[in-house]
């Protein structure tokens, strides 16, 4: 029953993208960054709307730091760094793949 409501919602989110909760330094190569989706009003209180925000699980994605995947329920699709774009700012919209329960 609840899946009938949330699965279409998640499909829409992944098509439209999610706002970032924090600034992210981009890499030279495009990448997928582990993240989690928060609908907690306390965490998203700095936004004008109650839109869920994407938080990175770690800023260091070494393969040896696999523990950061434990809390992840999203993979954020990040572009490669360019001279004009070194960072993504908080609030920027990125595409996301859902990999776990929300």
Secondary structure of residue 2 in the 3-state scheme: helix
**Taking the domains of the chain in order of start, what are their residue ranges?**
2-98
Q: What's the pLDDT band for 1 if we cut at 50, 70, 90? A: low
Distances (CA, A) of 45 to 37, 39, 42, 97, 102: 14, 10, 5, 24, 19
Whether the predicted pLDDT of 7 surpasses 90 = no
> For the residues 92-101, what does the mean pLDDT come to?
86
pLDDT tens digit string along 58-79? 665 555 555 556 678 888 999 9
Q: Tell if the pTM clears 0.85, that is, is over it.
A: no
The whole-number pLDDT of residue 59 equals: 64
Whether the predicted pLDDT of 16 surpasses 90 = no
> For the residues 50-56, what does the mean pLDDT come to?
80
**Bridge-based pairing state of the strands 24-25 and 31-38:** unpaired
The whole-number pLDDT of residue 74 equals: 86
CATH top class, domain 2-98? mainly beta
């Amino acid at each position: 029953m609840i899946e009938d409501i949330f699965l279409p919602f998640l499909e829409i989110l992944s098509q439209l993208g999610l706002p970032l909760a924090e600034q992210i330094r981009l890499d030279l190569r495009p990448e997928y960054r582990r993240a989690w989706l928060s609908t907690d009003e306390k965490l998203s209180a700095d936004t004008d709307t109650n839109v869920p925000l994407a938080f990175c699980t770690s800023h260091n994605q070494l393969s040896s730091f696999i523990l950061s995947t434990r809390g992840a329920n999203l993979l954020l699709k990040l572009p490669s760094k360019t001279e004009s774009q070194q960072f993504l700012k908080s609030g920027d919209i990125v595409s996301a793949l859902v990999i776990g329960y929300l």
